[in-house]
């Protein structure tokens, strides 16, 4: 029986050939892991305005369109490719909501002098929250995600690549600009120590 990586490679190749069943199985296999990466890359503040599952959906829609040109080396390369697509979706969402917030600020400034009593209503109407039915993560998982969001970018990227994408140390070193796999491993160890400290400070053992 073939191993999971071989099966994933086969699914990618079949999906690239137009096999819709293989494409669906590929999405089902990786959507949970990509969703965790999306949540971590969004951070707590942006998650208040952007639905992680919307980003996930846009990520896979884009991935389907670009799949023909994707070359899979190993499982981590697939996950990291999906994560890169997700990151572009997140940047676009952040830009959109940033511009929207600035526009709302200008609108509030204009209406404030007119005594418009609906101005505050407009502001709160723009605030979106995730439905409770979608909040499936445990409290502990959310705390860990928040702690990860507080890490320096280079630490967070190391943990995402190694612990979430399952990348080899060679890939981690290449993607993070470390001079060798050993150097990537050492930096990752420091990142994990820092994460552990933040998690303990947050009250988790």
| Residue positions counted in the chain | 205
Token digits of residue 9? 């490679």
Whose tokens are 């990786």? That residue is 30
186 backbone φψ class: left, alpha, beta (φ>0; ψ -120 to 50): alpha
CB 52 within 8 A of CB 38: yes
* 82/90 Cα distance (integer angstroms): 12
Residue 125 reports pLDDT greater than 60:
no
- The pLDDT of 113-132, averaged and rounded, is 30
CA atoms within 13 A on the CB side of 129: 6
| Share of residues in the chain with pLDDT > 90 (%) | 26
Span 68-98, pLDDT tens digits: 999 887 777 888 889 889 988 888 888 776 6
Q: Does domain 137-205 have CATH number 1.10.10.10?
A: yes
Q: Model pTM?
A: 0.61
User: Which pLDDT value is given to residue 45?
Assistant: 73
- The pLDDT of 51-77, averaged and rounded, is 88
Residue 141 reports pLDDT greater than 60:
yes
User: Could you tell me which of 57, 53, 47, 52 has the C-alpha nearest to residue 127?
Assistant: 47
């Amino acid at each position: 029986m073939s191993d999971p990586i071989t099966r994933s490679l086969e699914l990618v190749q079949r999906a690239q050939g137009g096999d819709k069943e293989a494409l669906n199985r590929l999405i089902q296999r990786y959507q949970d892991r990509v969703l965790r990466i999306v949540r971590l890359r969004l951070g707590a503040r942006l998650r208040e305005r952007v639905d992680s599952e919307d980003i996930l959906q846009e990520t896979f829609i884009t991935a389907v369109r670009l799949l023909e040109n994707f070359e899979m080396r190993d499982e981590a390369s697939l996950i990291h490719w999906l994560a890169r697509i997700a990151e572009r979706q997140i940047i676009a969402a952040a830009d959109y909501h940033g511009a929207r917030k600035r526009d709302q600020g200008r609108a509030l400034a204009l209406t404030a002098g007119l005594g418009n009593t609906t101005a505050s209503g407009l502001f709160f109407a723009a605030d979106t929250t995730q439905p409770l039915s979608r909040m499936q993560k445990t409290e502990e998982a959310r705390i860990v995600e928040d702690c990860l969001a507080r890490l320096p970018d280079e630490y967070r990227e190391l943990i995402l690549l190694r612990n979430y994408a399952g990348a080899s140390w060679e890939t981690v070193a290449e993607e993070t600009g470390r001079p060798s796999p050993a150097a990537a491993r050492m930096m990752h160890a420091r990142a994990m120590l820092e994460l552990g400290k933040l998690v303990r400070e947050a009250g988790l053992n």
